[in-house]
Amino acid sequence: MRCARWRWVPLALAREAREKSAAPYIDGAVQCQLSAHDEGEHFGLLTDNGAYGTALWLRWRGADEPELVVLSDCPVAAPGRDGDGCCLFADHAKQHTWEDTHEEAPCTS
Ligand SMILES: [Zn+2]
Ligand SMILES: [Zn+2]
């Protein structure tokens, strides 16, 4: 199961994300991309339109102000031929997205 937390993206951070990535559009709200978890930081994908092998993420914890962070893509793909890539970032907590059997959806971008 995907973490169900959503967060509004502050306008200033959306603007900064567009400037950093040249993405034409940043969603007004993002859902945490990790597998369901109760504690720790949540990570919503803003855009993977930035430098190769990286993506811009919104990181937040509880009711604290969210932060914009640039993270390297998770390099671990599912085993086997045509294994799916992981949609998360390097050294993330929890499962790789392809380990989450509840969801077949491709990475959002
Ligand atoms: Zn979360
Ligand atoms: Zn991963």
**For 2-59, how does the pLDDT look when each residue is reduced to its tens digit (9 = 90+)?**
899 999 999 999 999 999 998 989 999 999 999 999 889 999 999 988 788 999 999 9
Ligand nearest to the CA of 33: 1
Locate 8 and state its tokens. 């509004």
For residue 4, report the distance from its CA to the centre of ligand 1, in Å: 7
Cβ atoms within 10 Å, residue 78: 14
For residue 75, report the distance from its CA to the centre of ligand 2, in Å: 7
Whether 109 maps to a domain, the answer reads no
Whether 108 maps to a domain, the answer reads no
Q: Based on the structure, what is the number of domains in the chain?
A: 1
16 CB-contact burial (10 Å; exposed 0-12 / middle 13-18 / buried 19+) = middle
The boundaries of the domain holding residue 32 are 6-96
pLDDT given for residue 52 in this prediction? 87
Whether 104 maps to a domain, the answer reads no
- Coil vs helix vs strand at 24: coil
pLDDT given for residue 104 in this prediction? 57
Whether 42 maps to a domain, the answer reads yes
